[in-house]
């Protein structure tokens, strides 16, 4: 999930398309605004013991879990930092999960595959089936932190990915969401989040949640270093958490065309850096985040497939996109030691306004998808 500037105005190019790499403001100026005006969080969700598996008494025989999964997960601190890749060790991640400092409650409501983004709308009933890929919507989503003063409501969509792991069935899940109403430090703020984890046999959600909030006043950023987490346990999966951005103003985006010559989207090259994401909700300062960006560990070759010339998305009608991505990890000598080919199967983008850069369009976006 990320933010980016979008083309500002058409250029007198032969194709008559907007110039993707120039505007009224410099690359470094916009990049500094994004660095200073966003707050990033990484949580690890652990489901609380369920008192009831179902919603509204549906599916009384517990055949599959009903039409709705009542999600209640504690949000723990997590450290997940990639080491510099090497030819001998490959790609390694140091990670541990700390204490809980927040909570997520929502209803994973199974939905028809063609159900579109519709905040608050109940889909037609569909039974949960752990052996079949399904679409779901996240209704009545509530994220609360600390004593509950800092919280927000959200709406999201996602899907399940049934897998066979260690010889047994497992249900992975991905989702993308948007803040609809904030309270406390979140009041009046916009943000996007993404879920990456599993639906447990007890019908809970366990896994990673990343959140980026547009915070121009810096109310969520910590002015002092947040204490290290107290390690409680190691997660059963590896989460590679990175910081991505263009290398410099000389790294150019370009239009991408389909085989028939039609415009299908843009290319978005970037470099990956290791990063330490930390947050705390304890103490009189309430919720605050801190990110330390470190060395380069790889790069990204991505094609974003979307109607780049369409109007920006809104909270009620985001602009959809998919991607084709190649992650390449390399050692200190620049030699490739591993790759991951993947792609966003469902992404949503929303309009982003820069108060300090009038007229500069931008997007905030998030998406999810499987490793291919």
Position 51 scores a pLDDT of: 54
Contact call for residues 4 and 323 (beta carbons, < 8 A): no
Arithmetic mean of pLDDT over the chain: 90
Position 62 scores a pLDDT of: 46
Can you give the residue ranges of every domain in the chain?
A: 2-368
Mean pLDDT to the nearest integer, 186-213: 96
The answer to whether the predicted template modeling score (pTM) of the entire model surpasses 0.75 is yes
Position 361 scores a pLDDT of: 87
Mean pLDDT to the nearest integer, 315-337: 96
Q: Which residues, other chains included, contact 302 with Cβ-Cβ below 8 Å and sequence gap of 6+?
A: 267, 268, 269, 270, 323, 324, 325, 326
pLDDT tens-digit readout, 297-321: 999 999 999 998 899 999 999 999 9
Helix %, strand %, coil % of the chain (to 5): 5, 50, 45
Position 54 scores a pLDDT of: 47
Position 320 scores a pLDDT of: 97
Position 14 scores a pLDDT of: 33
Number of Cβ atoms within 10 Å of the Cβ of 316: 12
Contact call for residues 163 and 174 (beta carbons, < 8 A): no
Binning pLDDT at 50, 70 and 90, where does residue 249 land?
confident
Distance CA 266, CA 319 (A): 15
Distance CA 56, CA 10 (A): 53
Phi (first) and psi of residue 281, to 5 degrees: -120, 10
Least confident of 10-19, 29-38, 56-65, 120-129: 56-65
Handedness of CA 265, 269, 274, 279 (dihedral sign): negative
User: What percentage of the chain reaches a pLDDT higher than 70?
Assistant: 92
């Amino acid at each position: 999930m990320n933010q980016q500037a979008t083309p500002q105005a058409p250029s007198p190019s032969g194709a008559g398309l907007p110039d993707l790499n120039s505007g009224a403001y410099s690359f470094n100026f916009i990049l500094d605004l994004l660095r200073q005006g966003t707050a990033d969080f990484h949580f690890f969700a652990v489901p609380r013991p369920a008192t009831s598996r179902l919603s509204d008494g549906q599916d009384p025989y517990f055949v599959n879990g009903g039409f709705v999964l009542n999600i209640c997960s504690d949000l723990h601190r997590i450290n997940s930092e990639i080491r510099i890749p090497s030819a001998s060790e490959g790609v390694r991640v140091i990670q541990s999960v700390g204490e809980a400092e927040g909570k997520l409650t929502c209803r994973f409501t199974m939905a028809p595959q063609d159900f579109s983004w519709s905040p608050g709308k109940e889909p037609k009933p569909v039974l949960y089936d752990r052996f079949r890929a399904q679409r779901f919507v996240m209704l009545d989503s509530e994220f609360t932190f600390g004593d509950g003063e800092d919280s927000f409501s959200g709406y999201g969509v996602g899907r399940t990915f049934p897998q066979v792991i260690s010889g047994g069935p497992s249900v992975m899940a991905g989702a993308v969401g948007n803040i609809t109403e904030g309270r406390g430090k979140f009041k009046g703020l916009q943000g996007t989040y993404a879920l990456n984890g599993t639906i447990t046999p007890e019908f809970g959600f366990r896994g990673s949640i990343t959140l980026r909030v547009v915070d121009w006043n810096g109310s969520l950023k910590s002015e002092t270093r947040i204490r290290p987490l107290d390690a409680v346990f190691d997660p059963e999966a590896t989460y590679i958490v990175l910081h991505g951005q263009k290398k410099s103003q000389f790294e150019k985006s370009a239009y991408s065309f389909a085989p028939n010559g039609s415009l299908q989207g843009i290319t978005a090259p970037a470099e990956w850096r290791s990063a330490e994401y930390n947050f705390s909700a304890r103490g009189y300062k309430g919720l605050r985040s801190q990110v330390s960006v470190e060395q380069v560990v790889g790069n990204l070759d991505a094609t974003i497939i979307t109607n780049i010339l369409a109007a920006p998305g809104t909270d009620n009608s985001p602009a959809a996109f998919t991607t084709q991505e190649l992650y390449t990890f390399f050692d200190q000598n620049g030699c490739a030691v591993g790759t991951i080919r993947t792609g966003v199967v469902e992404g949503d983008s929303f309009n982003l306004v820069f108060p300090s850069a009038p007229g500069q369009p931008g997007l905030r976006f998030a998406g999810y998808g499987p490793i291919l």
